[in-house]
Structure 1
Amino acid sequence: MQESVQQIKRVLVVDDEEGMRTTLAANLELEGYEVVEARDGVHALELAGQQAFTLVLSDVRMPGLNGVETFRELKRIQPELTVVLMTAFALEKLIEEAIVEGVYTVIYKPFSMDHLARVIARAVDAPAVLVVDDIPKVADSIVSVLRAAGLSAHAVHDGRTAVQHVIERSVDVCVLDIVMPDQDGVATCAQMRGLKKRVTVIAMTGHSVPEMVSAIMSKGGYTCLRKPFDARELIHTIARARGDAAPE
């Protein structure tokens, strides 16, 4: 797999239902992606061993290898691969496993093709999480947890550096402390969202600052987590935010 897919944006669609697979492929081709179809998990692994993909869109419930098992094997073949899962079933245990192991997001059927297009457009753009906290130990520990879960994550320790990071690098989610010296989270969120509306801001705070929470939500914040929060709560919130992919 010598070729680069940075410009190609090749998507592998995996679904055992031929009608669904064909419909998804046709719509993604209309969005400008090169699309390859796989009839099941085993077929997907064969294809991934032959060519590089930017992203895999896979059903969860399939005969043989299910979508989560396929996701795990695909990541062994192409560790940097972004995987989006889709399901019509409430498979809580499987979904939980996939999210904590680094799947980009899970979208639930039925979904509109417009919604899918938004999710895919964000997912193919080398997605990463930016963690912003003026206490380096806190920011770095959150990044360590996210990386351990298979997510690409980076830390900065002030609002101005965070805004510059968003300008220079690909970031789709920012986990942002609200109360910080010099430039607080509200101002930072406003600047980020003004530059790139695709950046989803998940606020966090250990202080009782309802006015600031309201302000950051009014500027496009997705939600606010109260410190200290469980690592799984944050990972699930990131996956849910990515799957929501609100219109810009």
Structure 2
Amino acid sequence: METTRRVLVVDDEEGMRATLAANLELEGYEVAEARDGAHALELVRQQRFALVISDVRMPGLNGVETFREMKRIQPELTVVLMTAFALEQLVEEGISEGVYAVIHKPFSMEHLVRMVGRALGPRAVLVVDDLPDVAEAIVAGLREAGLRAEAVYDGHTAIRRAREEAVDVCVLDLVMPSLDGVKTYEQLRRLSSEIRVIGMTGHAGSEMIHAFTRRGGYTCLRKPFEVRDLVLAIARARSDPGAC
């Protein structure tokens, strides 16, 4: 089977591993299982995987430590973490270093299968800001964190780019000439309900922000913000079952 369908499940609980593997195999994925972080690293050294789904809390190497070592072996690897705990410092560190998303236990298999499908897709983050320097600086920060990202400078181009290729997450300035963020968002959602949209603004009033979130915008960040905060917002949006 092609590498793009090969998934590694890492969990010290045998029952959880077997359940995840069985459900993913039913969806047509080739699945390998690892009982802990050390076993996962051994498998990653032996063969290539498109995606790793790993528990965070395991004996020996935890999920974030395992993620770091796996990325040294296969830098292009996509990793989803599983946890039964609220977003903690350890998990935030993993996200800031390029973890695709965090799925919280207990979760439905339907949610997991949707997330796997998205994680193995193009995964592009589209940054839209009418100030090119701002857009490019955000893209540079996202790429440094291990995310695939590109910039466009107006709403019309954003809509065209989303139509031409799959856009996973759109980071959208709300105040732009010609087509503002709310109108751009509405057109993006008509193209695909799967696109997560995160707003950003340094000027929009509360009425515009509320209009954006009422229509389904995931969240809105106030400029200036740290790239780390945006990376966390992207991972949370990807992880949210209500946004799938």
Asked if Structure 1 and Structure 2 have the same fold, meaning a TM-score greater than 0.5 normalized by the shorter chain, the answer is: yes
- Decide whether the 8 Å contact of 2:175 with 2:204 is kept in 1: no
| Structure 1: gaps spanning 5 or more residues | none
Q: Identify which range, 149-158 or 163-172, moves more after superposition.
A: 163-172
Specify whether residues 217 and 91 from structure 1 end up closer, same or farther in structure 2 by C-alpha distance, changes over 3 A only: closer
Instruction: Report the equivalent of 2:25.
Output: 29
Residue 117 (structure 2) pairs with residue 129 (structure 1):
no
- What is the Cα deviation at residue 40 of structure 1? 1.4
Instruction: Report the equivalent of 2:210.
Output: 214
Deviations 1:102-150 (A, max 9, x none): 1011122111212222222211113121110000011111111111111
The aligned length equals 244
Instruction: Report the equivalent of 1:65.
Output: 61
- What is the Cα deviation at residue 91 of structure 1? 7.0
- Decide whether the 8 Å contact of 2:174 with 2:204 is kept in 1: no
- What is the Cα deviation at residue 90 of structure 1? 4.6
- Cα RMSD (Å): 1.7
Cα distance in 2, alignment partners of residues 140 and 4 from structure 1: 34
Amino acid at match of 1:187: K
Q: Secondary structure at the match of 2:117?
A: helix
- Decide whether the 8 Å contact of 1:118 with 1:247 is kept in 2: no
List aligned pairs for 1:138-153, cutoff 5 A.
138-153=134-149
Structure 1 runs of 4+ aligned residues shifted over 4 Å read none
Q: Secondary structure at the match of 1:216?
A: helix
Instruction: Report the equivalent of 1:95.
Output: 91
Residue 7 (structure 2) pairs with residue 5 (structure 1):
no
List aligned pairs for 1:174-185, cutoff 5 A.
174-185=170-181
Q: Secondary structure at the match of 1:181?
A: coil
Cα distance in 1, alignment partners of residues 42 and 71 from structure 2: 13
Identity %: 67
- Decide whether the 8 Å contact of 2:9 with 2:52 is kept in 1: yes
Q: Identify which range, 205-214 or 121-130, moves more after superposition.
A: 205-214
Q: Identify which range, 84-93 or 10-19, moves more after superposition.
A: 84-93
Cα distance in 2, alignment partners of residues 173 and 91 from structure 1: 20
Cα distance in 2, alignment partners of residues 78 and 196 from structure 1: 31
| Structure 2: gaps spanning 5 or more residues | none
Q: Secondary structure at the match of 1:198?
A: coil
- Decide whether the 8 Å contact of 2:83 with 2:103 is kept in 1: yes
Q: Secondary structure at the match of 1:76?
A: helix
Instruction: Report the equivalent of 1:198.
Output: 194
Cα distance in 2, alignment partners of residues 123 and 226 from structure 1: 27
- What is the Cα deviation at residue 44 of structure 1? 1.3
